[in-house]
Amino acid sequence: MGIVETEEIKRNVILYLWEEIRGLLKGIPVSSPEDVVSLIEKGGELGKRVRSSLSEDFVEDSTSFFRDPEAFAAYVNIGLPYLESIKREGKILSVGCSTGEEAYSVAIANLQKGYGNFRVDGIDVSERRIGKAQKGEYGILESGLGLDGKLTQGFFNPKFLLEVEVKPEVRRHVNFFAHDILNAPTEEQYDVVFCLHLFDHLSEKGRTVALENILGSMAGESYLIFHTLVPGFTVPSQMFQLEQKRYFDGLKVKGLERLATPNKAVAFKYHK
Ligand SMILES: C[S@@+](CC[C@H](N)C(=O)[O-])C[C@H]1O[C@@H](n2cnc3c(N)ncnc32)[C@H](O)[C@@H]1O
């Protein structure tokens, strides 16, 4: 794809997104994306309303159980052996956990490997998504569980027709709370952090702030599992992939060491 075509696609995507935003902010006096940014930056009641409306209804929430096999493989090869070696409760964070499938998947991956001394905390800016995550109830078709349940057998109770709920023995390891990673690091510090498909939504400035706060949420020695591609959306995916590649290739952060992974996942070791 040539540069010109990429620029044109970008312009069209931006136009399309702007129409969507205008629809969501009906009744609020904004005539350009810059107006929206300035309202949010000013804060106040209106700024908060705009931010909350965009977080709940505009930022994409797509997720599923074991969504990125590469990221989970990197976790099982790199993160899990480290957790098993630390001889205390392992603390894992899922940043931008959406409706909870990722955090429960991490717990299931641990239990499948016989590792039980751990806790997973899932955080998301959207209170509505956190509420759904806390319920732990899923439709097996839309949550990626599939009808054969190969990945997750034994970890769900049937609920109603094609619905299941996460079993208590998984749920007792998992907590969820609303938190905006652009605002601050978490109060606790974690041994392994999953950050999957969060940076897809952030600007360059947002990524810098989010990364700073993610590092602030990590323990003195810890691991970061990253994945950002968007399979299935061919055109935007190519743009994302290019941007991610540029981003990670140029990323030089003190204490953050990129690890070799056997697949496309990106994993880092972090020393404070
Ligand atoms: C596409 S979903 C990815 C979910 C999951 N990590 C996955 O890969 O399947 C992105 C999630 O990031 C959340 N998010 C976006 N900005 C955030 C922020 N500043 N702080 C916390 N969560 C955020 C969104 O609400 C959304 O649920």
pLDDT digit string, tens, across residues 172-184: 999 999 999 999 9
Tracing tokens 């709370």 back to the chain, one arrives at: 177
Q: Which residue has the higher pLDDT, 44 or 168?
A: 168
Task: Answer yes or no: is pLDDT of 188 > 50.
Answer: yes
Residues 57-67, mean pLDDT to the nearest whole number: 87
Query: Do residues 131 and 198 share a domain?
Result: yes
CA-nearest residue, atom 3 of ligand 1: 197
31 Cα to the center of ligand 1, angstroms? 27
Residue 98 sits at φ, ψ, to 5 deg, of: 55, -130
Query: Do residues 97 and 217 share a domain?
Result: yes
- Nearest-atom number in ligand 1 for the CA of 67 is 9
Answer with the one of 37, 57, 77 that is the final residue of a domain. 57
Q: Which two tokens stand for residue 258?
A: 């990129």
Query: Do residues 45 and 86 share a domain?
Result: no
Tell me, yes or no, whether 205 lies in a domain.
yes
Residue to probe by mutation, ligand 1, list 59, 62, 128, 196, most atoms within 8 Å of CB: 59
28 Cα to the center of ligand 1, angstroms? 25
Tell me, yes or no, whether 62 lies in a domain.
no
Query: Do residues 121 and 23 share a domain?
Result: no
Q: Which residue segment(s) compose the domain that 33 sits in?
A: 3-57
- Nearest-atom number in ligand 1 for the CA of 206 is 19
Query: Do residues 148 and 223 share a domain?
Result: yes
Tell me, yes or no, whether 64 lies in a domain.
no
Residue to probe by mutation, ligand 1, list 201, 237, 240, most atoms within 8 Å of CB: 201
Task: Answer yes or no: is pLDDT of 39 > 80.
Answer: yes
Q: Which residue has the higher pLDDT, 271 or 33?
A: 271
Predicted confidence at residue 30, as pLDDT, reads 87
Tell me, yes or no, whether 215 lies in a domain.
yes
The mean pLDDT of the chain is 86
Residues 236-261, mean pLDDT to the nearest whole number: 73
The rounded distance, in Å, linking the Cα atoms of 148 and 3 is: 43
Query: Do residues 133 and 19 share a domain?
Result: no
Q: Which two tokens stand for residue 86?
A: 């630390």
The rounded distance, in Å, linking the Cα atoms of 183 and 221 is: 23
CATH number (domain holding residue 232): 3.40.50.150
Name every protein residue with a CB atom under 6 angstroms from any ligand 1 atom: 59-63, 67, 96-98, 102, 123-126, 129, 180-182, 196-198, 201
- CA 201 to chain CA centroid, nearest Å: 10
56 Cα to the center of ligand 1, angstroms? 10
Predicted confidence at residue 229, as pLDDT, reads 58
Query: Do residues 22 and 94 share a domain?
Result: no
CA-nearest residue, atom 17 of ligand 1: 125
Query: Do residues 94 and 25 share a domain?
Result: no
Tell me, yes or no, whether 199 lies in a domain.
yes
Tell me, yes or no, whether 63 lies in a domain.
no
Predicted confidence at residue 238, as pLDDT, reads 61
Burial of 250 (0-12, 13-18, 19+ CB in 10 A): exposed
Least confident of 14-18, 72-76, 103-107, 178-182: 14-18
Confidence of residue 233 (pLDDT cuts 50, 70, 90): very low
> What sign does the dihedral 233-236-239-244 (CA atoms) show?
negative
Residue to probe by mutation, ligand 1, list 98, 237, 244, most atoms within 8 Å of CB: 98
Question: How many Cα atoms are found within 13 Å in the side-chain-facing hemisphere of 262?
Answer: 8
The rounded distance, in Å, linking the Cα atoms of 208 and 199 is: 10
Share of the chain above pLDDT 70, in %: 88
Query: Do residues 77 and 43 share a domain?
Result: no
**Strand residue runs (E) in the chain:** 90-95, 118-124, 137-139, 156-160, 163-166, 174-178, 190-196, 218-227, 256-259, 266-271
Tell me, yes or no, whether 239 lies in a domain.
yes
Least confident of 161-165, 229-233, 255-259: 229-233
Query: Do residues 194 and 222 share a domain?
Result: yes
Query: Do residues 30 and 104 share a domain?
Result: no
Which span out of 5-14, 62-71, 201-210 was modeled with the highest average pLDDT? 62-71
Total domains in the chain come to: 2
Task: Answer yes or no: is pLDDT of 232 > 70.
Answer: no
Query: Do residues 135 and 231 share a domain?
Result: yes
Burial of 42 (0-12, 13-18, 19+ CB in 10 A): exposed
DSSP code at position 232? T
